[in-house]
Amino acid sequence: MPPPTTRRSRRRLPLALLAATLGAATLGAPSPAAADAPDSGGGYLVGRGIADVTGEAAETGMMGYSSFDQKTSGIHQRQRSRAFVVADRTSGKRVVYVNADLAMIFQSVRQGVLARLQERYGSLYGEENVLLSATHTHSGPGGYSHDVAYNLSVLGFQKETYRAIVDGIVDSVTKAHEDLRPGTMSLGTGTLTNASVNRSRDAFDRNPAADRAAFPDAIDPAMTVLRFRQGDTDAGAISWFATHNTSITNRNTLISPDNKGYASYAWEHDHAGVRYLDDAPGFVAAFPNTNAGDMSPNLNLKPGSGPTEDEFDNTRIIGERQLDKAREIYDDARPVGGGVDSRIAYVDMEDVTVRGEYTPDGEERRTCPAVVGASTLAGSVEDGPAIPLFEEGMRTPVAPILEALRIDTPSWLATCQYPKASLIPTGLLSNVHPVTPKILPLQIMKIGELHLVAAPGEFTIASGLRVRRTVAQQLGVPLDRVLLQGYANAYSQYVTTPEEYDAQNYEGGSTLYGRYTLPAYQQEYARIAESLRAGSALDRGPTPPDESGRQFSFQTGVVYDNPPAGKRFGDVLKAPEASYARGSTATVEFATGHPKNNLRRGSTFLEVQRLENGSWKRVLDDGDWETTYRWTRINGLTGTSKATVTWEIGADTAPGAYRVVHHGDAKNLLGKITPFTGTSGTFTVR
């Protein structure tokens, strides 16, 4: 990797944007379906569920690249939450695992989900036995954190996107709960070497030989697959693999779950025949991340480059490589036993005294109040270009907030954070308004033989390895039975090893709590692992504050919609051609309203329908890979806009008669929102 001064901003929303400017409970009664299900003889009840978490599809800042210019303009594929509930019928304990097509799980989301689950299930699902994780896509709407740093480029908190995410995750858990059936689990491991590359090699090479020897190619090639069956039926799989979910660049403005979302979609939709809008139980395939902090899918170490020069082709190919390896491991997975359990503790990461047994020099050390490093500005050429610095005299809606964040770092804090060159001491600002998190949830969840270390950030492969070794030793289990589950329960940017921190590349500059952040995590996870192994109670620590009452937004809502002169909402503005050959693209434009009027969560803005036996049947929607829905403002003064629906007609498409349908909603001057539907003329596919 080039030195920090030559590196441009990585696809991390938090630091890039700051730099520029700155849940084991008792089993309880099973669901009626589970109680009536035949007993397969397995020791578990397993359930799976999937739900839509797609937020505002137009004029909302996107989460991940910290670009003020990157705002949603439609949907390539919807974002989804995938949930699994596993109950041990012997002990009565159960756990919930969720993986969602999001950039991060913020503590705001976790608090909202747990509150909703408590309303619905009481103490059955709570902070200890619920684990929420994100795939880390950078192509979804943002504004759902309660920390200023992660909402700035989105112009503040976006209530409707937050609501869609919380509601969707809760829906997926509810479906998994209602799907509980007697079942079994199997576990398999393998290696995948052509879906990631180390984007911070010079920092990685600073690590001791024992760490480097574990990763001869400077990547973590391990894939772990947990297979679920209900009786004799395959129910789902979780496939962990470390690579950034950033095949799609910051030039894109369409919502997409990126390469991991494509892998899930291809397994569920193409192989298992799942049709999301049918709302029927089906195979659920989650592709979560592990210690992906320095793992890029852009194999040529340039944004959108590798294995091809087309970002959407790369998304599909990197997704397919994960899918193919996961299915191979899945087929060879071996049955596992063991109970389920979980422990969680909340830790003030700005104030941890780290014992010498966890520090490189054997001396007692401390973590520091959070600081964003100046090297964050340099970023990386591998995953996304840097955001330009704010120019003197520039006026933006967030200018007063940015001005308030510009304070000097006191010498004692600069010394604590050394050798980081401080840009913004966010830890000193959070008493006024939450800027970056201070109290973080640290969790270890046991699912059969597998132990998930739920980490609220982006751990590099070497830092993840050290945590795994610490936890495996404490639990007395093999290393491959411990996984670092990244992007889980909260978000606090990066975690590097002390040696990597000294390089002050992007990841080191983005390690908030100083050089001894990782040793602090090792110490605290060891404490949690000890409690899990002993079956003892654990001091939960300080409760994270609820910051929902201190949120702001500079986003204006929809004022009103008007169709073009002489048109009604839903009218076709551009008709399809009379016929299309397979392999070509059909395009239809409609007069429409603003998609913020109705997010259509769990529904669709488009349908491709085929005429079958005299009736029109939906064959595609806005969650499918072959379609796109794009919203374009024609005239802001008159509130006029159009929807463009495209369909890339696959080579295997059945010949016949087709049409395109657009569903939308329009808002009048009095604020009334009215749904409408537009339908194109019929065309043939030959």
Average pLDDT of the chain to the nearest whole number: 91
Instruction: Please tell me the predicted confidence (pLDDT) of residue 42.
Output: 58
Q: DSSP code of 385?
A: P
Nearest CA among 157, 142, 14, 168 for reference residue 549: 157
Mean pLDDT of 242-256: 97
**What pTM does this model have?**
0.92
Sign of the torsion formed by the C-alpha atoms of 164, 170, 174 and 179: positive
Domain positions in the chain are: 4-347+437-534, 572-685
Nearest-angstrom CA–CA distance, 288 and 325: 14
pLDDT tens sequence across 309-327: 999 999 999 999 999 999 9
173-229 pLDDT tens trace: 999 999 999 999 999 999 999 999 999 999 999 999 999 999 999 999 999 999 999
Q: How many Å apart are CA 362 and CA 469, to the nearest integer? A: 18
Q: What confidence score (pLDDT) does residue 406 get?
A: 65
Task: Compute the average pLDDT of residues 233-256.
Answer: 98
350/439 Cα distance (integer angstroms): 8
pLDDT in tens, 477-513: 999 999 999 999 999 999 999 999 999 999 999 999 9
**pLDDT-derived band of residue 542, with 50, 70 and 90 as boundaries?**
very high
Return the active site residues: 296
Torsion sign over Cα 460, 466, 467, 468: positive
E strands, 521-639, are 572-574, 579-580, 585-592, 606-612, 615-621, 627-635
How high is the pLDDT of residue 380?
Answer: 58
Read off the tokens for 345: 């503790």
In tens, the pLDDT along 586-595 reads 999 999 999 9
What separation in angstroms does the CA of 469 have from each of 105, 210, 312, 358, 492? 25, 12, 37, 12, 22
Given a cut of 70, whether residue 35 has pLDDT beyond it is no
Per-residue pLDDT, 151: 94
Q: Which two tokens stand for residue 683?
A: 């065309």
- The more confident residue out of 214 and 13 is 214
Task: Give the number of other Cβ atoms within 10 Å of residue 309's Cβ.
Answer: 11
Q: Averaged over 509-523, what is the pLDDT? A: 98
265 pLDDT band (50/70/90 cuts)?
Answer: very high
Compute the average pLDDT of residues 516-544.
97
- In this model, does residue 26 exceed pLDDT 90? no
Going by C-alpha positions, the residue among 157, 149, 154 that lies closest to residue 402 is 149
Which of 48, 147, 164 minimizes the C-alpha distance to 101?
A: 164
Closest CA to 279 of 593, 630, 497, 601: 601
Q: Which residue has the higher pLDDT, 511 or 281?
A: 511
Q: What percent of the chain has pLDDT over 70?
A: 90
Buried/exposed 405-420: b ≥16 CB within 10 Å, e otherwise: beeebeeebbebbeeb
Residue 374, pLDDT score: 82
504 near 421, Cβ under 8 Å? Answer: yes
Residue 33's pLDDT is 41
**Confidence bin at 678 (pLDDT 50/70/90):** very high
What's residue 398's pLDDT?
53
Q: Which residue has the tokens 């193919």?
A: 324
Counting Cβ atoms within 10 Å, is residue 1 exposed (0-12), middle (13-18) or buried (19+)? buried
Place 270 in a pLDDT band, splitting at 50, 70 and 90.
very high
Tell me the CATH number of domain 572-685, given options 2.40.110.10, 3.40.50.1980, 2.60.40.2300, 3.40.50.150: 2.60.40.2300
What's the pLDDT at 384? 65
For residues 436 and 417, give the distance between their C-alpha atoms in angstroms, rounded to a whole number.
Answer: 16
Lowest mean pLDDT among 219-228, 410-419, 481-490, 546-555: 546-555
- Residues 18 and 461: their CA atoms lie apart, in Å, by 24
pLDDT score of 13 more than 70: no
- Whether 278 has a pLDDT exceeding 50, the answer reads yes
Contacts of 333 (CB under 8 A, 6+ apart): 186, 187, 188, 225, 226, 227
